[in-house]
A = this chain, B = another copy of it.
């Protein structure tokens, strides 16, 4: 079942390959009659252009690499969806790699993608500094990288898609305070992630403003999984830190925490309210559903895709930062603003 090439058409129609090519590309320099014949023959013989040939010719692979920490939660899938919406219609393919939150695996993935000859890389990093050199080298070698969600420090100038972690975190905390909570715990992720710091800063700022900040209420986790959320709560309980609510860095941590509380018979939100930050379905598939900051993940993906296209078109195009807006969505895991302390 051999592939039909432009050559086959050329033989079949007794025309040169260039004419065929022109007809296929809607070049004006071709007799409409001829073009019609070519198109018909192409249809009949089942001609499909071979993208590989073009890739070779133009030095592009039409492959974009995606590096994400994990695909267990729908976070990355949603972003991927947005990326695909932009890139698939343009003939790009997306190669996905997962780093499992391990910077070493992330590094390997980046190398793999470079070997795969991708035209650009979109990445949600798993460690703020560990692979900074690698990013820099790859960019210098000519493969543009665009960051989203978790971005590198100021020493690395890049295009990126972000949300306002600090502000939104503070809104969540304000909300908890508005519903009468005062002992608000914060489950941070590992501090090797920039956003962890940002969200924690938002949290601290508000608690300080209200004179209810207490360092004991902050727990830093080792990882980002459900288990880590659970362990964080355990730690609070072990240390006998009293808390009436939790603001968690992510859905995942929040759910881990919440399930452990539920298993201990704690009532949510009556005894402990829980709020998080994310934008995935996870927030709505648990009971009670989670109050959280919803990020426009699909749009973030599309934005990242647009940014990488810019860079592919012109490597020296200026770096852009796209700040996405987010919504704080109130759900059953916290009291609603108006019905403070009501069932």
Contacts and interface: CB of A to CB of B under 8 A. Distances in A.
Interface of A: 1-3, 46, 48, 50-53, 55-56, 59, 61, 63, 71-74, 77, 80-81, 84, 88, 93-98, 112, 114-117, 140-142, 226, 255-256, 258-259, 262-263, 281-282, 284-288, 315
Contacts of A95: 93-95
A117 B287 contact: no
Contacts of A48: 114-115, 117
Contacts of A71: 71, 74, 77, 80-81
A226 B281 CA distance: 10
A287 B262 contact: yes
Contacts of A51: 61, 115-117
Contacts of A80: 71, 96
A258 B284 contact: no
Contacts of A84: 97
Contact of A286 (B116, B140, B287, B315): B287
The 10 closest A-B pairs by CB, nearest first: A1-B142, A71-B77, A259-B287, A262-B287, A52-B55, A93-B95, A72-B74, A52-B56, A56-B56, A226-B285
B284 A286 contact: no
Contacts of A282: 285
A20 B53 CA distance: 23
A116 B72 CA distance: 27
Contacts of A73: 74
Contacts of A286: 259, 285-287
